[in-house]
Amino acid sequence: MKTRKVLHKLTACVAGVGLLLTSGCAGAGSLGASDNEVTIALVSNSQMTDAQKLSSEFEKANPGIKLKFISLSENQARAKITMSTAMGGSQFDVVMISNFETPQWAKDGWLRNLSDYAKSTPGYDENDFIPSLRESLSYEGNMYSVPFYGESSFLMYRKDMFEQAGIKVNQDPNYQPTWQEVAGWAKTLKTDDRAGICLRGKPGWGEVLAPLDTVINTFGGRWFDDQWNAQLNSPQVKEAVNFYVNTIKESGELGASSTGFQECANLFGQGQTAMWYDATSAVSVLEDPKTYPDLVGKIGYLPAPVVEKPNSGWLYTWALGIPKAAKNPDGAWKFISWMTSKDYMKLVGEKLGWARVPPGSRTSTYTQLPEYEAISKSYGPLTLQSITNATPNKPTVEPVPYTGIQFVGIPEFQDLGTRVSQQISAAIAGQQSVDAALEQAQKYAEVVGKSYQEK
């Protein structure tokens, strides 16, 4: 019977593959295993993908060490890495985390002290990391993860569109535009075919809240006062959020409530928005001549807009750490030190192009790499300046009991931030008023604040 013949063939096929795999293996990825393995969990941004591509260079220089990668989107990676590390798992030798987790996990004793390793690695130069980044990844003076790339936030704009509209921008290097100015520009530049400015509106503690928190901070608002009383319905926060939502409504993009980094990048690249306030790392997308050849030389950059507090750009980094229970910490450090070294920057520049050098982690990238300086004239110095001047330890005008600019550095923030962001996203979509959103947000924050007051 044909059915049976086919079924037999199929079974034979699968059994064949099965034999291959079951010869002592846990899966196809474990074929060709060696003793000195390093298992690495990364987030799938382009800079990390580049590192994976270049990892063969590391294996060449370190024969005997086999690298195994898993690369996931940010949400999945964070969830998976958190679960594994919190349960004391030894699945990973190297984990990619950020300046959100590092201080908390260091305090919980989940990460290994990397300063010790760094000191015993000649030429690594821990002090070359941009100081604000270095501090944000340290606990009690020691680094518990090392930055791979860092970012702040700034304002990107189309110089040609500004010229057409007759808007003149102050060229002073110390100039920081105000949000009111930016809102005015956005209104002027808004037409039927394009938005005046693109701002994130997608729900998520790392989505809409990243830019919004910097706006709140610079308007003089804060999440909690120093007694952990929630402040989300305070007049300053209300003013800030109303400003953000109204700017989007008047001059922003359509469909803002589901717009994140990728959507704004696409709009800016297509010329469907005149300005975009977002991460400094957006240059990797926009200044790539292969994807957007028409944009070369047309993009202008300004520091993050301010109101009351200057230097309001955010501070974020993707960094590499070693979980306490890692099976191969020495191999892990070898890889980490390779991937975050000065030589690695040169390697990326030579092999993949100078535009792809991981930005914003080491000062030497901006001062000692002439090729990089040459291509990054329009955004490089501003990026370095934004990151250096970011103040995660004093993010707001009034004192606060937490650290973090675009996030609140407490473990509850992932949940609290997401819930609040959902309310705000609903306000952006016009489903509810900003006041109603902030009332609800205030309630959520009060619950968290109370648990800190009781400590």
Partner 1 sequence: MTLTAETDSDASQEAVAERVRKIRERQDVGVSRAEGWRRRGPLLPALIFMIAVTQVPFLFTLYYSTLSWNLVRPGSRKFVGLNNYIDVVQDSQFWSVAGNTVILIVGVVLISALLGLGIALLLDRAFVGRGAVRTLLITPFLITPVAGALVWKTTILDPNNGILNWLLGLVGISPVDWIGQFPLAMVMVELIWQWTPFMMLLILAGLTSMPRDQLEAGRVDGATAVQLFRELTLPHLRRFIELGVVLGAVYLVNTFDAIFMMTQGGPGVASANLPFYIYQRAFLGFDMGQAAAMGVVVVIFTMIIASFALRLIFKSFSGKEEAA
Partner 2 sequence: MTTTVEKATATSDSAPVRKKKSKKFSPWGVVAWLVGIGFFFPVFWMVLTSFKQESDAATNPPKLFFVPTLDQYAAVFDQGIGPAMLNSVFATGMSTILVLLLGVPAAFALSLRPVRKTSDALFFFMSTKMLPVVAAILPLYVIVSNLGLLDNIWALVVLYTSMNLPIAVWMMRSFFLEVPGELLEAASLDGASLWRSVREVILPLVSPGIAATALICVIFAWNEFFLAVNLTAVNAQTMPVYLVGFIAGEGQYWAVLSAAATMAALPVILCGWFAQNKLVRGLSFGAIK
Please name the helix (run of DSSP H) or strand (run of DSSP E) that holds residue 37, with its range, or none. Answer: strand 36-43
Check binding of 26 to partner 2 (CB under 8 A).
yes
Out of 54, 57, 62, 71, the only residue in the binding site for partner 2 (CB under 8 A) is 71
Helical residues (DSSP H) of 287-379, grouped into ranges: 329-339, 342-352, 363-367, 370-375
Instruction: Give the Cβ contact number of residue 246 at 10 Å.
Output: 13
Q: Which of residues 42-81 bind partner 1 (CB under 8 A)?
A: 75, 79
- Which of the stretches 265-273, 316-324, 365-373, 377-385 binds partner 1 when contact is defined by CB under 8 A? 265-273
Out of 14, 296, 374, 447, the only residue in the binding site for partner 2 (CB under 8 A) is 14
DSSP secondary structure letters along 167-216: ------TT---BHHHHHHHHHHH--SSSBS-B----SSTTTTHHHHHHHH
Instruction: Give the Cβ contact number of residue 322 at 10 Å.
Output: 26
36 binds, among partner 1, partner 2, none (CB under 5 to 8 A by kind): none
Check binding of 80 to partner 2 (CB under 8 A).
yes
330 phi/psi in degrees, rounded to 5: -70, -45
Binding mask of the shown chain, residues 394 to 433, with x at each position contacting partner 2 by CB under 8 A: ----------------------------------------
Give how far the C-alpha of residue 446 lies from the chain's centroid of Cα atoms, to the nearest Å. 27
Out of 8, 18, 107, 175, the only residue in the binding site for partner 2 (CB under 8 A) is 18
Return the ∠ at Cα 279 (arms to 184 and 137), rounded to 5°. 135
Closest separation in Å from C-beta 78 to partner 1: 8
Check binding of 82 to partner 1 (CB under 8 A).
yes
104 binds, among partner 1, partner 2, none (CB under 5 to 8 A by kind): partner 1
C-beta closer to partner 1: residue 39 or 422: 422
What sign does the dihedral 339-344-347-352 (CA atoms) show?
positive
19 binds, among partner 2, partner 1, none (CB under 5 to 8 A by kind): none
Pairing mode, strands 36-43 and 65-72: parallel
Please name the helix (run of DSSP H) or strand (run of DSSP E) that holds residue 429, with its range, or none. Answer: none
C-beta closer to partner 2: residue 153 or 311: 153
Do residues 60 and 351 lie in contact, with contact meaning Cβ atoms separated by under 8 Å? Answer: no
C-beta closer to partner 1: residue 127 or 451: 451
Site for partner 1 (CB under 8 A): how many residues? 39
Check binding of 83 to partner 1 (CB under 8 A).
yes
254 binds, among partner 1, partner 2, none (CB under 5 to 8 A by kind): partner 1
C-beta closer to partner 2: residue 204 or 449: 204
Query: What is the rounded distance in angstroms from the CA atom of residue 351 to the CA atom of residue 333?
Result: 23
Query: What is the rounded distance in angstroms from the CA atom of residue 318 to the CA atom of residue 322?
Result: 14
Q: Which of residues 403-432 bind partner 1 (CB under 8 A)?
A: 411-412, 414-415, 418, 422-423, 425-432
Check binding of 28 to partner 2 (CB under 8 A).
yes
Q: What is the DSSP letter of 71?
A: E
- Which of the stretches 99-107, 129-137, 257-265, 300-308 binds partner 2 when contact is defined by CB under 8 A? 257-265
What sign does the dihedral 426-453-216-172 (CA atoms) show?
negative
Closest separation in Å from C-beta 10 to partner 1: 18
C-beta closer to partner 2: residue 69 or 452: 69
Residues pairing with 95 in the sheet: 41, 321
Check binding of 41 to partner 2 (CB under 8 A).
yes
Out of 4, 19, 87, 171, the only residue in the binding site for partner 1 (CB under 8 A) is 87
Helical residues (DSSP H) of 252-362, grouped into ranges: 261-270, 283-286, 329-339, 342-352
**Which tokens sit at 111?**
């990460």
Residues pairing with 68 in the sheet: 39
Query: What is the rounded distance in angstroms from the CA atom of residue 197 to the CA atom of residue 182?
Result: 9
**Which tokens sit at 258?**
């589901």
Do residues 409 and 189 lie in contact, with contact meaning Cβ atoms separated by under 8 Å? Answer: no
- Which of the stretches 52-60, 168-176, 201-209, 386-394 binds partner 1 when contact is defined by CB under 8 A? 201-209
Q: What is the DSSP letter of 304?
A: P
Q: Which of residues 261-300 bind partner 2 (CB under 8 A)?
A: 261-262, 265-266, 269-270, 272, 279, 281-282, 284-285, 290-292
Query: What is the rounded distance in angstroms from the CA atom of residue 275 to the CA atom of residue 252?
Result: 9
The residue ranges that bind partner 1 (CB under 8 A) are 75, 79, 82-83, 86-87, 104, 108, 202-205, 207, 253-258, 263, 266-267, 270, 272, 411-412, 414-415, 418, 422-423, 425-432
The residue ranges that bind partner 2 (CB under 8 A) are 1-3, 10-11, 13-14, 17-18, 20-21, 25-31, 39, 41, 43-46, 49, 52-53, 68-74, 76, 79-80, 83, 87, 89, 91-92, 206, 261-262, 265-266, 269-270, 272, 279, 281-282, 284-285, 290-292
